[in-house]
Chain A
Amino acid sequence: MPEYDAGVRAENLVKRFDGEAALDGISFEIGADELFGFIGPDGAGKTTLFRILVSLLVPDEGRADVLGYDVVSQYREIRRRVGYMPGRFSLYGDLSVEENVRFFASVFGTTIDEQYDIIAPVYSQVEPFKHRRAADLSGGMKQKLALSCALVHRPDILILDEPTTGVDAVSRGEFWDVLQELKTGGLPILVSTPYMDEASRCDRIALIQNGTILTTNTPSAIGEGYTKPLLAVRADDRFRLLQTLRTFPHAFAVFPFGEDLHYTDARPHMNPGDIVREVTNWLADAGFDDVQARPIAADVEDVFMAMMGDGEHYGVPDGQPGA
């Protein structure tokens, strides 16, 4: 179990902009040994939350502490100890890679050499380009440079706002490898992302949408919380399969998932093997002779869609179960 006393704790955080709640009563506790992810789309409230935690915004209601310090009354302590990466690239484009890191080190009265061991896992990946202007780096490299700058004052916690957004799949994987290494070295990390597939890289996650937390747990436990039978179904003509399968009388939701469609059956207690047979036969009658269907475990994205979905949103035509 995580130890909450030295991590991050939020109680009923509310923040409104022009009367609209960007954060609508958010509470959570994060241990000092966790790599914790806030997962949700743009506009969910992730940035507002992180700005409160790093003391750049004051909440309208509720309270939060980071490393045991109150985000409002003890903001100086927090600013000294937090490594923060804002969502928007905010380094100096006209300075070189090395100059950027050196600048952030000097602000905290230190040097790259003194801190090399802590920044090495990520800085070594951008160091081959240390004389290049930061503005000329690719998206993935910019984020690695930004992380180097957030680490160079040897923070006690990292708070990273969407560090992988707009970054290609390969660079994203490398970035998460670095986070894993830093976390193993004893650094607690809060990270936000809109990419659901990154959930599995976190110890625990919170699914966040419209300023509220839908659920908090380990990624696998969240998948296990999916209460309806789920199948992966595929056939060559995927688009027609999608449209056809949605008219199956027991369809609760049908969505494309890469090469497969994920089919959720509306009958919670039905045996998945029976559903496979039923669906396959029904599709054969509808003219699909190459259907492959198998029961699968839900992943975080399935759960997210189920939790955010109302009938209208959930890909089920009117008049169907669950609509």
Chain B
Amino acid sequence: MCPTVSQVPEPSIIAEDLTRRFDDFTAVDRISFTVQRGEVFGFLGANGAGKTTAIRMLTGLLTPTQGSARVASYDVASQPEAVKRRIGYMSQRFALYDDLTVRENARLYGGIYGLSNRQIRERTQRLLERLGFQHAADARVGSLPLGWKQKLSFSVALLHKPEIVFLDEPTSGVDPITRRQFWEMIYEAAEDGTTILVTTHYMDEAEYCDRISIMVAGRIEALSTPSELKRSYGASTVEEVFVRLARPDGMGPTNSRPSNGDAT
């Protein structure tokens, strides 16, 4: 799941000095990192640290002020539409259409990404089988429990076989069993070669990532495997590392920065 440098394909994300300013506030401040194909990359940070702004740039929704990023082999600033076609995205806030059925949602997304009717039919069938959702194929998505919706939403985000999927707090508010089933789906997708970039406020989930970065006030302050981070900070959990970085002087929340354009 963690390819070595010798592998040929270009990494799924190459960010170099990626920066975004809003007026005189720097939301993302020269971040550089690389995410390899098939990697599960945890993108952590306190509220307002700049995660959402960074993700908006990486998904081609927001132009960088400075620096660059290549995602799925395209430049996010000059080729944002090509980037959007090669990625998948899901969050709790933006998922599926409640008024459409499971099958209709899949057809809609497949159509948007230019899949043929036949591809949509076959992949929807496989998706339903894998999730064990055959009986719910014609149920309105709005009538499904949240955990089902999130699993479904992730599967639909994979329908066009994107190289990389961005998951923004995908398990927020989900029950503890479904939350873990969701992570097994993440692992399975990664084993199939899909790259995953995921944000979460559940610190136990940070431990499930191949590598994690921790953003503090617009910068990436730490980036490594969970075990290496714990070792270098002498911490027993990623949460300890996170707390130490997010509040370095123990002074509490007065370190917080404004969050212009940063939803969480």
- Taking Cβ atoms with an 8 Å cutoff, the residues of A that contact B are 40-43, 125-126, 128-129, 132, 136-141, 144, 165-174, 194-197, 209, 238-239, 242, 255-259, 301, 304-305, 308-309, 313-315
Contact = CB atoms under 8 A, between A and B. Distances in A.
A239 B47 contact: no
Nearest to B48: A138
Nearest to A141: B256
B51 to A, nearest CB: 10
A170 B264 contact: no
A169 B203 contact: yes
Contacts, number: 126
Nearest to B175: A41
A138 B237 contact: no
B147 A140 contact: no
B47 A128 contact: no
Interface string B232-264: 000001110011001100001110111110101
A315 B256 contact: no
A315 B191 CA distance: 20
Interface string B35-67: 000000000011111000000000000000000
Given A129-B256, A136-B259, A258-B238, 16 more contacts: A41-B146, A43-B146, A125-B252, A136-B258, A141-B47, A168-B45, A168-B246, A169-B201, A169-B203, A169-B246, A172-B201, A195-B201, A255-B177, A258-B207, A313-B177, A314-B177
A221 to B, nearest CB: 19
A168 to B, nearest CB: 4
B174 A168 contact: no
Chain B residues touching A, range: 35 or more
Contacts of A314: 177
Contact of B172 (A128, A137, A166, A257): A166
Contacts of A171: 46-47, 253
Nearest to B150: A42
A189 to B, nearest CB: 20
Contact of B47 (A168, A255, A259, A309): A168
B46 A140 contact: yes
A283 B254 CA distance: 49
Given A301-B176, A308-B175, A140 B187 contact: no
A167 B256 contact: no
A300 B27 CA distance: 37
Nearest to B187: A239
A161 to B, nearest CB: 12
Instruction: Identify the interface centre among A132, A138, A139: most chain B CB within 10 Å of its CB.
Output: A138
B202 A167 contact: no
Interface in B76-117: none
A165 B172 contact: yes
A19 B238 CA distance: 44
Contacts of A258: 203-204, 207, 237-238
Contact of A304 (B176, B237, B253): B176
The 9 closest A-B pairs by CB, nearest first: A138-B48, A41-B175, A42-B173, A139-B47, A258-B204, A138-B47, A138-B259, A168-B46, A170-B246
Nearest to A44: B175
Contact of A125 (B146, B147, B243, B253): B253
Nearest to B244: A170
Contact of A41 (B49, B147, B184): B147
Contacts of B180: 255-256, 315
Interface in B137-192: 145-147, 169, 172-178, 180-181, 183-184, 187, 191
A140 B256 contact: yes
A196 B207 contact: no
Contacts of A242: 184
A304 B49 CA distance: 32
Contacts of A313: 177
Contacts of B133: none
B201 A168 contact: yes
B11 interface: no
Contacts of B176: 41, 196, 301, 304-305, 308
A313 to B, nearest CB: 5
Contacts of B1: 239
A258 B239 CA distance: 10
Contacts of A308: 175-177
A141 B253 contact: yes
A170 B242 CA distance: 8
A315 B177 contact: yes
Nearest to B190: A239
